[in-house]
Amino acid sequence: MFEIITPLFLSLIVGGVFVGIVFGAIPGMTATMAVAVSLPLTYSLGLENGLALLLGLYVGGISGGLVPAILLGIPGTPSSITTTFDGVPMAQRGEGEAALRIGIVSSLVGGLISLLILWLFAPTLADFAIRFSYVEKFLIIFFALSVMAALSSDMLLGIFSGVLGVFVSLVGVYDISDGGNGELRLVPPGTEYWLDGGFALLPVLIGLFGLAAILEEAERGVPSAASSDEIAIGKSSSFSFSVFRGQTLNLIRSSGIGTFVGILPGVGGSAASIISYTNAKTFSKHPERFGKGEPAGIMASEAGNNGLTGGALVPLLSLGIPGDSTTALLIGAFTLQGIQVGPLFIGNNPTTWNAMIFAMLIANLVMFAMMYFAIRYFALVVTVPKHILFPVILMMCVIGAYTINYGIMFDVWTLLIFGVFGWLAVKLRLEIAPFIIGFILGPSAEVYFVKSLESFGTLSIFFTKSWIAVVLWILIAGSIAGSIAMSRKKAGQVADPS
Amino acid sequence: MNITIDFETSHLVFPTVIGVILAILGLAILVRDRRRIAAAGSYWRETLGWMDKKRFFGTLVLTLIYFSLMVPVGNFWPNTGYGFLFCSVPFVFLSGLLFMHDWTLRGIIPLAIVAVVGPTFVWWLFTYPLFLTLP
């Protein structure tokens, strides 16, 4: 275990957290983008060191979003949206630094609780999942897609996006190494040379999360960065730990909600923070103070969104299903090193598993130390001009796409295609997270589906194979029924606002 | 229901199933959102109305030119990564100018420095320490 803890390993975590906070703190840039553009660097670092960098970026990126959320009222990442509700009123009262420190401490609590759940829960789930046959594995993917679609803002469009992701992932050859027949499908004539292996995962991800985000910013005219005069950080002496008195339950509940939301595939940090915030308000003795600068609101939001970090790794490391878009990118890091994540991962790679847990722990502590003691300097990050940052990020996107498969120019064009698609998808109200998860899981779903039918020769096997299959069908039906009930309730509220 | 999968055509089984599901879902969306789809013209006119067309389409055009030129330029000096370097410097500078709101010397000088230093550093990093060939 301790042989992995080298000065390089620790420096990569520290560097990753630092860069992640910077990315998170700049509105329009996210933890996902930070991980996307840094992936090619992991090539020569090896798996454990590469993961140290990426996990540092992940934790830093999620945490950094609170800086502009509190100081400017603009969430640096979507998961910080509820931090603005109480952070901005506090900043307006001259308590900006206090609000930031409340958020930082809550982020640490959320991150550590979710890490503990990851450490305890992922190996157990993986041990259980080892017993799954192709049938149960297919149903798990089906369940993941149905949960994701059910929790989308529009269920029908969510399902469509997920299925579209699966469809796009099937472009190319039905790989012989997966038991396929080596024949091409869904490839337009004349494009066989480029699309033989389909669209590579990482250029697709870099396009969707790098280029698409910059196109969205360009569409809005690339708003200027804030000037230092606009930053309402307030007095350094206004923070005291006594503000957390009586908030233990709020912190634990919000961290738990964040972790649980993280475990659900494809549901992002914004859902984690919104649900945590709503619960904190509901159970508060003073719900009327929420939205007016109530510290408990910042605690709930930040503990919730950082709770996501460990939770999202649970399905990734135990089932091979990413919990959110950033952990989907981590699959890329594993792929680069030739390692497949799934039920066998933890048992077969104990060193990597320990390295990940240790890296997450250190990343959370480093994030806390950096942000708590240097928050005044990180606050200045929001003033970095975007006209300098965005071109450099675009260039890094190109590097990432090109080097991922050792120099294939078609991957760079894939980046452009999916960058434009990502921008267009938002306009068409398609959901990117289900699309990505569908794209990642599509090839496995195909293998499990076809092999199940080849082995058993009947569709009824998906219902009768084992009690696990029955439970999974109940869960699938429950998630869809729950979503329909929720959308009907929402429609009823719209029709009758009284 | 018994199903026999012919190995020769097994590559088409899952894409056909997914294609059919996609078509059914597409049809359901078409029926449910018919009014919104019918009003798509005005939606796109509105979007194009408030969009910063110069920056959005400028980014797309610059990116297209950047991607298109990298390999032909690189072919003059094969396996050196100069195609990336010589195309990235003007791309970073020009897209920076496109994103900049007020063109002042105080803004342009740092951009020019980043446009030269950034790609050069990345080119050096990937070519030498990381041994990854760029276009």
Write out chain B residues lying below 8 Å of A185, CB-based.
11-12, 15
Test the A interface: residue of B59, B61, B92, B124 with most A CBs within 10 Å: B59
Task: Extract the tokens encoding A456.
Answer: 């058993």
Q: What is the ipTM of this complex?
A: 0.94
Cβ contact (<8 Å) for B63 and A394? Answer: yes
Structural tokens at position B100: 């900049």
Separation of alpha carbons A166 and A442, rounded Å: 4
Nearest CB neighbour to B28, from listed A156, A185, A407: A156
Neighbouring-strand partners of residue A458: B2
CA nearest A399 in B: which residue?
B134
* Extents of the domains making up chain A: 2-495
Chain A environment of B133 (Cβ under 8 Å) = 406-407
Residues B95, A390: contact at Cβ < 8 Å?
A: yes
The DSSP element (H or E) to which A383 belongs, if any, is none
**A279: burial class by Cβ within 10 Å (0-12, 13-18, 19+)?**
middle
Q: Which of A159, A391, A450 sits opposite B92 (nearest CB)?
A: A391
Query: Are B71 and A409 in contact (CB < 8 Å)?
Result: yes
Using CA atoms, how far residue A375 sits from A26, A53, A228, A392, B56, in Å, is 14, 21, 14, 25, 34
Q: Which of B3, B88, B122 sits opposite A453 (nearest CB)?
A: B3
A137-180 per-position pLDDT tens digit: 899 888 888 877 777 778 889 889 999 999 999 999 998 887 78
Measure B50 CA to nearest chain A CA, in Å.
8
Show residues of chain A in contact with B58, CB under 8 Å.
Answer: 218
Per the prediction, chain B carries an average pLDDT of 91
CB pairs under 8 A between A and B: 165
- Which residue in this structure is represented by tokens 């233990």? A248
Report the C-alpha dihedral over residues A260, A141, A437, B33, rounded to 10 degrees: -100
The overall average pLDDT reported for chain A is 85
pLDDT-wise least confident of A65-74, A371-380, A436-445, A489-498: A489-498
Contacts of B119 in chain A (CB under 8 A): 395
What pLDDT shows up at residue A175? 86
Task: Give the Cα separation of A359 and B111 in Å (integer).
Answer: 35
By percentage, how much of chain B surpasses pLDDT 90? 65
- Which of B11, B115, B130 has the CB atom closest to A183's CB atom? B11
Higher pLDDT residue, A76 or A426? Answer: A426
Per-residue pLDDT tens for A307-358?
A: 888 888 888 888 888 877 778 888 877 877 777 888 888 888 888 899 999 9
Residue of A nearest to B109 (CA): A388
* B-chain residue closest to A402, CA distance: B134
Percent pLDDT > 70 in chain A is 94
pTM for the structure as a whole: 0.82
The answer on pLDDT for B27 being more than 50 is yes
What φ, ψ does residue A173 adopt, rounded to 5°? -85, 145
Q: Give A69 to chain B, closest Cα distance, Å.
A: 23
pLDDT of B71-115, one tens digit each? 999 999 988 999 999 999 999 999 999 999 989 998 899 999 999
Q: How far does A282 lie from chain B, in Å, by closest CA? A: 35
A156 contacts B25? CB cut-off 8 A: yes
In this structure, what is the dihedral angle of CA atoms A175, A181, A182, A184, given to the nearest 10 degrees?
Answer: -100
Question: Which residue, A398, A406, A356, is CA-closest to A43?
Answer: A406
DSSP H or E segment with residue A172: strand A172-173
CA dihedral A147→A150→A154→A157, nearest 10 degrees, is 60
Q: How far apart are CA A270 and CA A267, in angstroms?
A: 8
**Integer Cα distance of A150 and A411 in angstroms:** 32
Model confidence over A267-304: pLDDT tens digits? Answer: 666 778 888 998 898 888 888 888 888 999 999 999 99
A463-484: per-residue pLDDT in tens?
888 888 898 899 888 888 877 7
Nearest to A413 among B28, B67, B84 (CB): B67
The closest of A335, A356, A358, A360 to A346, measured between CA atoms, is: A356
Distance from the Cα of residue A26 to its chain's centroid = 17
**Testing the interface with B: which of A394, A404, A484 to mutate, by most B Cβ within 10 A?**
A394
Asked whether the beta carbons of residue B1 and residue A460 sit closer than 8 angstroms, the reply is yes
The minimal CB distance from A215 to the residues B59, B71, B98 is found for B59
Contact (CB<8Å) B97/A387: yes
